[in-house]
Amino acid sequence: MEFSSLSKPIVESNISTEALQKYKEEISTLPKEDGWSPLIHLCLYKGFWFYPYFLEGAMYAQDHFQPQPSDIFLCSAMKTGCTWLKSLSFAIATRGQYDDSTSPLRTTVPHDCIPFLEYGEYSTAEGPRIPLVASHLPYTFLPKSIIDSGCKIVYLCRDPKDTFVSMWHFFRKLENNRPGEGDLVSIEEAFELFCKGLSSHGPYWEHVLGYWKASLERPDKILFLKYEDMTKDTEACVKKLAEFFDCPFSLEEERKGIVQAIIKFCSFENLSNLDVNKTGKQVKKDAFVENSAYFRKGKIGDWRNHLTAEMGARLDNIMKEKLSGSGLTF
Ligand code: A3P
């Protein structure tokens, strides 16, 4: 992949209101269940639960998105560490252009450096663009054009207990941004829903399994990573990513400490303390997300502070059963 002369993507949705109307109508006919918020239902579409907002963009992408064969997709279920993966990938891919002191990650939340496919933020940029696109969509939902074009995919997953706890805190934060509109369900109720597969882009195990199986079938095209491995051996993961992007670190770069510099710059400690991530906001339609919501603790095993050992064991057993025979474990 050629990473020279990249421009920052313009992060604006280009999905027109008219185009969305068609999908809104289709979504209104789907089976619904109460979700984690009393106000927004989860809709069941082809075996996965979605908030309508994400589904509209997903349907639009399926019909309209045309990738470049060199595009690389950073895929993940929600709250598995996508902000970190985006930061590392951006820093790796643009290291010829920027260093720590000039990186757009200093002043731009990682989600605006690498936009999401399903927000329709991909095709507004004129001229060269960063060939990295993110998505929370399940594998079977990725636009066919992505698979047909042979695009590479990185998939990041995480221990389901930490993912669940992270998700509950994230949605609670979003809910607090809409005062007077109702509260998020308790963590115990949300846990029951999660165990039934009812969560944004859930069932979580189906999301993970889809990419896992695809990575076994097409290992040259799909790099499967775990948050826990990224935490325990970040250097190995960063090198693996660079190789997968076809821009491995040279000996000279290693000698100069570029790998370590990227790891340090993209660490939770550093990114979460940047002004943009402490005080900035992302405005999405009528809602907003504080950038700080993407940085909570960044630890393995925080679930123990929020779930009982029994709850943890129950979710572990569900995962074990659902993943049995696949070769994948957490
Ligand atoms: P916690 O809520 O457990 O702290 P996503 O980026 O997919 O939304 O996932 C968010 C999770 O990744 C949060 O987990 C967040 O704190 C963690 N995270 C964000 N930036 C990180 C970083 N640079 N390093 C490690 N973890 C990070």
Task: Print the SS3 string covering 176-227.
Answer: HCCCCCCCCCCHHHHHHHHHCCCCCCCCHHHHHHHHHHHHHHCCCCEEEEEH
pTM of the model: 0.94
169 lines ligand 1 (CB under 6 A): yes
- Ligand 1 in reach of 200 Cβ (< 6 A): no
Separation of alpha carbons 104 and 112, rounded Å? 10
Query: Which atom in ligand 1 lies closest to the alpha carbon of residue 271?
Result: 23
The one-digit pLDDT tens for each residue of the chain (330 residues) are 344 334 333 344 566 777 788 899 999 999 999 889 877 899 999 999 999 888 988 898 888 888 989 999 999 999 999 999 999 999 999 999 999 899 999 999 999 899 899 887 654 445 556 789 999 999 999 999 999 999 999 999 999 999 999 999 999 888 777 655 567 899 999 999 999 999 999 999 999 999 999 999 999 999 999 999 999 999 999 999 999 999 999 999 999 999 999 999 999 999 999 999 999 988 766 667 899 999 999 999 999 999 999 999 999 999 999 999 999 999
Check if the beta carbon of residue 44 is closer than 8 Å to that of residue 30: yes
CATH number, domain 3-322, options 3.90.550.10, 3.40.30.10, 3.40.1110.10, 3.40.50.300: 3.40.50.300
For residues 302 and 165, is the Cβ–Cβ distance under 8 A?
Answer: yes
pLDDT value of residue 8: 38
Check residue 10 and give its pLDDT.
35
In this predicted structure, what is the pLDDT of residue 14?
62
Q: Is the CB of 196 under 6 A from ligand 1?
A: no
Strand partners, 75: 135, 155
Distance CA(272)–CA(237), nearest Å, equals: 21
For position 34, what pLDDT does the model report? 87
Choose, from 136, 169, 201, 207, the residue flagged as catalytic: 136
Ligand 1 closest atom vs CA 266:
23
Q: How far apart are the C-alpha atoms of 300 and 230, rounded to whole Å?
A: 11
**Residue from 54, 84, 103 to probe ligand 1 pocket by mutation (most atoms less than 8 Å from CB):** 84
Q: Please tell me the predicted confidence (pLDDT) of residue 21.
A: 87
Query: What's residue 13's pLDDT?
Result: 58
175 in contact with ligand 1, CB cutoff 6 A: no
Q: Is 306 a catalytic residue?
A: no
Cβ of 254 closer than 6 Å to ligand 1, yes or no, is no
CA 329 – CA 219 distance, rounded (Å):
18
> Domain boundaries in the chain?
3-322
Pick from 294, 299, 300 the residue to mutate for probing ligand 1's pocket: most ligand atoms within 8 Å of its CB.
294
**43: CA distance to ligand 1 center in Å?**
26
- Ligand 1 mean position to 301 CA, how many Å? 13
* 23 Cβ inside 6 Å of ligand 1: no
The pLDDT of residue 304 = 98
Per-residue model confidence (pLDDT) at position 1: 38
- 91 CB within 6 A, ligand 1: no
